[in-house]
Amino acid sequence: MEQQFDLSGEVAVVTGASRGIGRAIAIGLGSAGATVVPTARTKSDLEETVSQVEAAGGTGLAISSDVSEEESVDELFERTVEEFGGVDILVNNAGMNPESALGKPETIEIERFDQTLAVNLRGAFLCAQKAAEYLQDGDGGAIVNIASVAGLVGLPRQHPYVASKHGLVGVTKSMALDWAPDVRVNAIAPGYVETEFIDEALESDSIRQSLLDQTPLDRFAAPEEMAGPAVFLASEAGSYVTGSCLTVDGGWPSK
């Protein structure tokens, strides 16, 4: 069983890996033996991720990139292949849900809608396109898209984010069909995770308690709790899983 989760010799690119869920997944992949390329826009934060990957026993290389820019994504994968000879795993975790994109539908500026989809959906699709070129050249590989419970149900005042995550779940299923059997494509739909991403919302005691009341496990997740599912879907342990969206939500009523 241990061998099924072993990622030794695999090269993994993790977007949005400068903090939170992305950093935790990068560390988890590294501890399973993978060489990890964490990427985000801020290089200094990525260096801390690499330090933690190496402390967990893995190997890492920080490469800054902007997933919403095609040239930047091209450079990310070209440099990764130049350094390590290929790509075996892609984790699409880069995401945003800015306060300026929150509100009732009639109040959302279309520029904020476009900005959110450019990172959360278009960026993930673009990275998958580029990664597939290399994944298909090898012995096959795995793509893991980090969606959200917001990709499975409606949430008030979060319309661009909900649209982007529903879209990400959808393209996960369609890419899995087109790239099988060479590349497995799956998604993870986290519930509420204690990260900087949701810190502002959780400052309100009433909102925090309301969310906890809807979570049967009666707590929010730690970022590290997303690493195990990601390793499972990226490894041979998940070799017969593709086109699936794994909810990791503490029982949130999202199904």
List, for residues 200-211, the tens digit of each pLDDT value. Answer: 666 677 778 888
Rounded distance between C-alpha atoms, residue 188 and residue 61, angstroms: 24
DSSP letter (8 states) at residue 41:
S
2-248 is a CATH 3.90.1150.10 domain: no
| Domains of the chain by residue range | 2-248
Beta-ladder partners of 13: 37, 90
pLDDT, averaged in runs of 10, over the chain (255 residues):
95 97 98 98 94 96 97 98 97 93 94 97 98 85 97 93 98 98 97 80 76 89 97 98 97 74
Active-site entry in 134, 161, 192, 240: 161
Q: For 156, how many CA atoms within 13 A lie in the half-sphere containing its CB?
A: 2
pLDDT of residue 13: 98
Rounded distance between C-alpha atoms, residue 211 and residue 63, angstroms: 36
Determine contact, residues 33/8, Cβ cutoff 8 Å.
yes
Residue 73: exposure state from Cβ atoms within 10 A (0-12, 13-18, ≥19): buried
List, for residues 82-116, the tens digit of each pLDDT value. Answer: 999 999 999 999 999 988 888 999 999 999 999 99
pLDDT of residue 197: 64
Distance of CA 90 to the CA centre of its chain: 9
- Maximum Cα–Cα distance across the chain: 52
240 is catalytic: no
Dihedral sign (CA 103, 246, 184, 20): positive
pLDDT of residue 137: 79
Q: Which of 12, 231, 244, 15 is nearest to 124 (CA)?
A: 15
